[in-house]
A and B are shown apart, each in its own frame.
Chain A
Amino acid sequence: MDVSQYLEIFLDETSEHLQNLNTQILSLEQDPGNMDTINEIFRAAHSLKGMAGTMGYKRMQNLTHDMENVFSEVRNGNITVKAGMIDVLFQCLDALEEYTTNIRENADEGTNDNEPLIKQLNDILNGGEGGEDAAAKPAEKAAAPAAAAESSGDHGDKKWLDIKLGDSERSVLKGAIEEGKKVYGLTVKVQESCILKAARAFLVFKAIEETSEILLSNPSAQDIEDEKFELDFSLIVISGAELDQVIAAAKNVSEIEDVIGGVVDPDGAPAATEEAEPAKEETKPAEVQKPEPAAAPAASKPAASASGGKKNDEKKPSAGKPVVNRTVRVDIEKLDTLMNLVSELIIAKNSLVAASAASGTSSTAVNEQIEYLESVTTSLHESVMKVRMVPIESTVSKFPRMVRDLQKKLGKKMELYMSGEETELDRTVVDEIGDPLMHLLRNSADHGLESAEVRKERGKPEVGSIFLDAYQDGNNVIIEVRDDGNGIDTEAVRNKAIEKGIITPEQAENMSEKDSIDLLFHAGFSTAKVVSDVSGRGVGLDVVKSKIEALSGEVEVKSKLGEGSSWIIRLPLTLAIIQALMVDIGNEKYAISLGSIQTIEDIAPSDVKFVQAKEVIQLRDLVIPLIRLNEILDVESKKDPNDNLVVVVVKKGDKQAGLVVDELIGQQEIVIKSLGKYISKCKIISGATVLGDGEVALILDANTLI
């Protein structure tokens, strides 16, 4: 079978599953008893195996198969999750990642069989079974007669009797009964002619949920949603209503053939029917024994019950509503085309505005339509931008795993706290921001945080904290990497810079704290005394800075010696279209990004002062240098020197400058176009835009002017 056409999808989905596995295994490490996590892991491993098998990647399939085996045993409670096992699983994920990379590069998975890993997995399997053999066996034995009893007892239509109750479910049922509610088992049969079984099942769920709470279903709610059932499904519900009412509600749904129900005794088996009596007694020991090995580590016990409780809460919505996201995968290039078309539309709209203003005969009707067009193009632009936006989660979700690895490698104790993973950024930015963030996190882990002993001495908690916070701030997205480590020792930084010949000792004397910190971004600078595997090759921070600047962002550092440092990355929300102030300088039009503009001032020529032969103005107790744009741009100003100056005050970080322009034209939405490689010499121009009248205006990069 030719599967090459599916390769792209396979790779995409594999990466998704691997990422998911990474996250889930991490949370499993935190909470080893969480059945939801284990189920999720099992599902992901299973899908991976299936996909790899279909595509004919045997080695990948083998490895995932063995992983799946392990998870399956964990799920059945035959193996408990141990730290060693988590390590092996992570190694497996790395191996799978390697396969995926190989496949991506040359459509072949490579020849690494990863036998040691498979052996380790099998050891876990055998070890686990060996250790709990004694416990598992009687359970199995007990289960066998129970099953026999069930089949001989012939539950017939009462298939709800087959539903196995776990520990937590049973306690929930008991709790419900104590509250005076009743527990019923239901089996719903759908007509054979029914086409949309899942939809009918959904309606039944909904009908029942009006009076009751659905605790369990067989098959699972997810499977029912996916139509993975034959003609019937069974439910265990907790209800305040009578059994007849519940059954009647379910029967009300069309195309439902029959609903059979009975009262369930939470102690293992339904008490209503006589045939079930032997089954009840037999299943009881089986059920009681089974959870024992699972609950063996005392620590996991409360976790398990806690998660059990949580599960019930979560079950309610998931049983009723389909939770699958309806998505379409779209090639990013197609989105770019769409984006370009929207840009063209905005230019055309602007032309229309200009034309109507120029003709002078603008009637209210035309104006109204133009305003309408404007609101449509604006929302169209917003929606297209939103389509391109993805949560940064896809990039940052690999960091907890990375920090975990760093912790082992560096022998320091640390914890990563993340917030705002749902913050959205343009797809291209999200793809690019991963590396800089990784550098910063490594930096914090390696240079920032002190070792546990030092931390203890200083009265800090032994476990160091690294924070990664993302949030939106106006038209920017801020990503902050913070640690509670040692902070930046500016003295050490200066000494190092002198040693490296980056600055002279004299320069160092006069350097402010901030300038010293900025030295860190200098190419070829690394303060770590020993070059470690983790960071310290001296390529980190200047790469971080240039990468972020390439994305039109900026990075700022705040640090307090002994208390920690924070790295603040500020990124623009969108790259292609910005709000800009149009200005006139010597009859030429220029655009200045609204984002960098602080205020606009009208200054009398007499208020211009001189400091070190440079023009400055004083504004609210701040001395701001003036930049005469006409001089920088080599044009004649058409203004009378005695007239008041129009000064656009721009900021970069906490630095400000006043740009002197001839006239303000107005605010406008502009589409940024590149000037191309051919004209790249001009640093102060960051791009160009096409105005409404078809003319090209240049965009001034205020950052390079300051």
Chain B
Amino acid sequence: MDTELKTVGETKQFIVIKLGDEQYGIDIKYIDNIVRMQHITRVPKVDAYLKGVINLRGEVIPVMSIRIKMGLEPDVETKSSRIIILKLEQQGMIGVIVDEVKEVVTLESDQIEKMAYDSKDDKNSFLCGIGKCDGGLISLLDLNSVVLENV
């Protein structure tokens, strides 16, 4: 992976996930792990998007729902549901629930369209750009604003 990055230069790898009908991309460098859906222990008295905590090899890790955070329909657990464990500098390890994990894509910098920040749409504020790949569009998630606590 490293050598590939070096030779191609300005490229980024994203994991493509699905939430509803839309495709989203998560920068691979933040991803620690992808695990199957498992029992989530509810934590009382916290924001609704925080689904609870799971046990990942002895570590207790909080899990959040991107769907609720973005104001979409609540998650429906299916066979393809996954929890993506993110490792962020500030918050440490956090799991996010996604409907499906599709593939890994490599995007060159000219395939990424930066988002304009003037958009008032709530959903868009969680995005940092749009990737164009094989004719399809991938909304690239801005993880920091996704996991940021609601004030």
Residues of chain A having any CB pair with chain B under 8 Å: 343-344, 347, 588, 632-635, 673-679, 681-685, 688, 690, 694-698
Contacts and interface: CB of A to CB of B under 8 A. Distances in A.
Contacts of A696: 41, 52-55, 60
A681 B47 CA distance: 9
Interface string B43-62: 11111001011110011111
A92 B11 CA distance: 63
Contacts of A674: 60
7 contacts: A676-B91, A679-B43, A681-B46, A682-B45, A690-B58, A696-B41, A696-B54
A677 B53 contact: no
Nearest to A672: B60
A192 B124 CA distance: 88
Contacts of B59: 673
Contacts of B62: 675-676, 678-679
B42 interface: yes
Contacts of B147: 678
A112 B147 CA distance: 51
9 nearest A-B residue pairs (beta carbon): A696-B41, A633-B44, A688-B60, A673-B60, A678-B62, A682-B45, A690-B55, A696-B55, A679-B62
A588 B41 contact: yes
Contacts of A697: 41
Given A588-B42, A682-B43, A690-B60, A677 B54 contact: no
B32 to A, nearest CB: 14
B45 A684 contact: yes
- Main secondary structure, interface of A, reads loop
B44 A679 contact: no
Contacts of B85: none
B69 to A, nearest CB: 13
A675 B46 CA distance: 12
B39 A695 contact: yes
B140 interface: no
Contacts of B42: 588
Contacts, number: 70
A678 B45 CA distance: 13
Interface in B83-101: 91-94
Nearest to A696: B41
A57 to B, nearest CB: 39
Nearest to A673: B60
A591 to B, nearest CB: 12
A401 B147 CA distance: 51
Contacts of B44: 632-635, 682, 684-685
Given A682-B46, A695-B39, 10 more contacts: A588-B41, A674-B60, A675-B60, A675-B62, A677-B92, A682-B44, A684-B45, A685-B43, A685-B44, A698-B43
Nearest to B47: A681
Contacts of B41: 588, 688, 695-698
B98 to A, nearest CB: 18
B91 A678 contact: yes
Contact of A677 (B43, B52, B60, B91): B91
Contact of A688 (B39, B45, B50, B53): B53
A277 B52 CA distance: 93
A681 B45 contact: yes
A345 to B, nearest CB: 10
Contacts of B60: 673-676, 688, 690, 696
Contacts of B47: 681
A294 B147 CA distance: 75
Contacts of B46: 679, 681-682
A684 B147 CA distance: 23
Given A679-B43, A697-B41, A344 B58 contact: yes
A590 to B, nearest CB: 10
A676 B43 CA distance: 12
A542 B38 CA distance: 43
A697 to B, nearest CB: 7
Contacts of B58: 343-344, 347, 673, 690
A694 B53 CA distance: 12
Contacts of A634: 44-45
Contacts of A677: 91-92
A538 B117 CA distance: 48
A676 B50 contact: no
A694 B43 contact: no
A682 B47 CA distance: 10
B92 A676 contact: yes
Contacts of B53: 675, 679, 688, 696, 698
A271 B91 CA distance: 83
Nearest to A586: B42
Nearest to A633: B44
